[in-house]
Amino acid sequence: MFTGIVTDIGEVIAIHARADNLRRLKIACHYDRAGIADGASIACNGVCLTVVAAGVDDDDTWFAVDAAAETLAVTTAGDWRHGTRLNLERALKIGDELGGHIVAGHIDGIAELMGRDDLGHMARLAFRAPAQLSRFIAAKGSVALDGVSLTVNEAEGDRFAVLIIPHTLDVTTFGALRAGDPVNLEVDLMARYAARLIEKA
């Protein structure tokens, strides 16, 4: 589990396709190598991936993860290339501060950035969600976009908007987002369960 509070920006430095429909990604980061264990979970642009190796090259820490065919098909991971920058978050530990909202790292779909308004040091980003997910997105509710916990400011139909504060622009990849860019979308767990209960009522 995660909170949607990004703790590092990583960079894809190598990609190796494998015959078993896996793609191994080597990602550079600023985490302490000693704190990255094989089998650990790290959210990469919101996708929960399992560390299969880690090391240090020329004083730069890296870790490797395997992305399976399903992950490559339903998230933006299929489009990651050498040099792609990724929002990273380590998995929650007991006693950690829950600064965002509960995020599972299981991507529901891909949203598209429809427009961006830069407002001084802030930015308003307008997205279009897949139609089947729009019912889970409500004004004042939570979403995770590329692993970042955000509050929805407006929601109508399949469109919704968020305001990005200066700190978030500085410590995530959102500063570089442009219209047409895809982002991984995870809807709020509570909204999903509430909808399921209503369906069963």
Catalytic residues, by residue number, are: 2, 41, 48, 50, 68, 106, 151
Q: Where are the alpha helices (DSSP H) in 38-104?
A: 69-74
CA nearest to 66, candidates 31, 34, 20, 33: 20
CA nearest to 32, candidates 90, 71, 85: 90
| H or E segment to which residue 91 belongs | none
Q: How far is CA 35 from CA 21, 90, 104, 195, in A?
A: 29, 10, 21, 38
| H or E segment to which residue 191 belongs | helix 189-200
